[in-house]
Structure 1
Amino acid sequence: MLKIVPFEEEYKDVFRDLNLLWLERYFYVEEKDHELLNDCQTHILTRGGLIFIGLLDQIPVGCYSLLKKTDGIFELGKMAVDENFQGLKIGQQMLAHAIDFCKMNQWKKIELYSSTKLNTALHIYRKFGFKEIVLEDSAPYARSDIKMELIL
């Protein structure tokens, strides 16, 4: 059974490495990725964001972050599942956890940036109620060609 736990320093390499693997597989690692992944403490956690790690039999197999944009609005990002454990609905369990966590904290909205190349991810986001919204010209990643939100 998947156990989702808050970030601890011991997971910083896991968080970085899981994300680097999928980024390098489908795209390339951008400057903002390096910033968030190499110093998540400064660029995510101290700015009011959170990181969660998915453990299967105590083995880290997935992760995601919630980056604070404004009060009550967070960006879901850096969600990754170890390719050796894909197909077990780990990503869906982590997404459900993120939504429940945000609702529990009475936040207003979750936003995310993605790519239309990631059909499986987009299908899951839509399944959980995310709707496509206008992508601003200053999207944080070059690979982002779609923006979605979930009003809580």
Structure 2
Amino acid sequence: MSIRIVPFEPKYAHSFRDLNIAWLKKYFHVEAKDALLLENCQESIIDTGGFIFLAEYKDEIAGCFSFIPFDERVFELGKMAVDPSYQGLKIGQKLLSFAIDFAKENQWRKIVLYSSTKLDTALYIYRKYGFVEVELEKEIPYKRSDIKMELVFDSKN
């Protein structure tokens, strides 16, 4: 199985949006912040210092994720989705592993993510890769989020 992780190019904007909207509609609903990030991901994520990566499998975009700047050397891992027809191939885990390696290479302090306790499999995988639950602030970015997790690389600062 050959999965390539490729960086964002404008030609992937529709794939990024469509994968995420399909995932959101399956489990929750599209919130205002989702629409803002997904409808113009170049402006709302890339141009603000963020990153988007996509998983390519058999010449098709099968999954994606983004890093949204949170703070200096701290990024939010979000907008991770895998096309249902490719689930079970561990594409999500490959994306997560790539994300962690990318953060380490760039000497980030930590990765933050928001999730939902309804997503047992996702939470299991996040914990497997070293993420730990931290206190959820009062003003959260998404209504669906009821858990916040972090992976800390550098405890300084």
Q: Give ranges in structure 1 of 5+ residues lacking alignment.
A: none
SS in 2 for 1:87: coil
Deviations 1:43-97 (A, max 9, x none): 1111100000100022100000000111100000000000000011000000000
Matches within 5 A, 1:60-71: 60-71=61-72
TM-score, with structure 1 as normaliser? 0.99
Runs of 4+ with deviation above 6 angstroms: none
Whole-angstrom distance in 2 between the partners of 1:70 and 1:134: 17
Whole-angstrom distance in 2 between the partners of 1:82 and 1:94: 13
Q: Give ranges in structure 2 of 5+ residues lacking alignment.
A: none
Whole-angstrom distance in 1 between the partners of 2:120 and 2:23: 14
1:108 maps to what in 2?
109
C-alpha root-mean-square deviation of aligned residues, in Å?
Answer: 0.5
Whole-angstrom distance in 2 between the partners of 1:135 and 1:143: 12
1:6 maps to what in 2?
7
2:119 maps to what in 1?
118
Identity of aligned residues (%): 57
How many residues are treated as equivalent by the alignment? 152
Whole-angstrom distance in 1 between the partners of 2:119 and 2:6: 26
What residue identity is the alignment partner of 1:47? T
Whole-angstrom distance in 1 between the partners of 2:114 and 2:97: 17
Alpha-carbon distance, 1:37 to partner: 0.3
SS in 1 for 2:97: helix
2:85 maps to what in 1?
84
Q: Does 1:136 align with 2:137?
A: yes
SS in 1 for 2:68: strand
What residue identity is the alignment partner of 1:91? G
